[in-house]
Amino acid sequence: MVLPFTHRQNLQQFQQALTDLQHQTASSELNPAQLRESVQTLQALFQRQISPLLAEEGEAAIAPRVSSILTEIHKQLQLLAMDVTFLQVSRQSATGQQRLTQMRDRIATILRYCEPLLSAE
């Protein structure tokens, strides 16, 4: 599916923010408060720039597929926010590591969801 240039730019910006968050979760100096802020920024970016893709005219032919992908991304972002909350309140190292692993998996999943939206085919 081919999206207009501005949509692709917004998706690339969202994808870059996801990649930055992915690097944050891999850092040895993990800061849960900073992770929370990054996830909130990511959610705001999604709501402001990505969700409106369906509202514009001329998207009717690709809307069902795009709608499905965006719904999944939105769901994963909500779960990611919950993971950050649980990471912040985890008291045991093992629990924190488990939440961090879940966060990394969710970020990778969202990045995979972005791929068909950005592909030129």
pLDDT digits over 16-59, tens only? 999 999 999 998 888 889 999 999 999 999 999 888 776 664 45
pTM above 0.85, yes or no: yes
DSSP for 15-36?
HHHHHHHHHHHH-SS--HHHHH
- Residue 57: the pLDDT is 43
Which amino acid appears at position 100 of this protein? L
87, 103 in Cβ contact below 8 A?
Answer: yes
pLDDT digits over 94-119, tens only? 988 999 999 999 999 999 999 988 88
- Residue 60: the pLDDT is 57
**Burial of residue 121 (number of CB atoms within 10 Å: 0-12, 13-18, 19+):** exposed
- H helix count then E strand count, the chain: 4, 0
C-alpha to C-alpha distance for 94 and 115, rounded to whole angstroms: 32
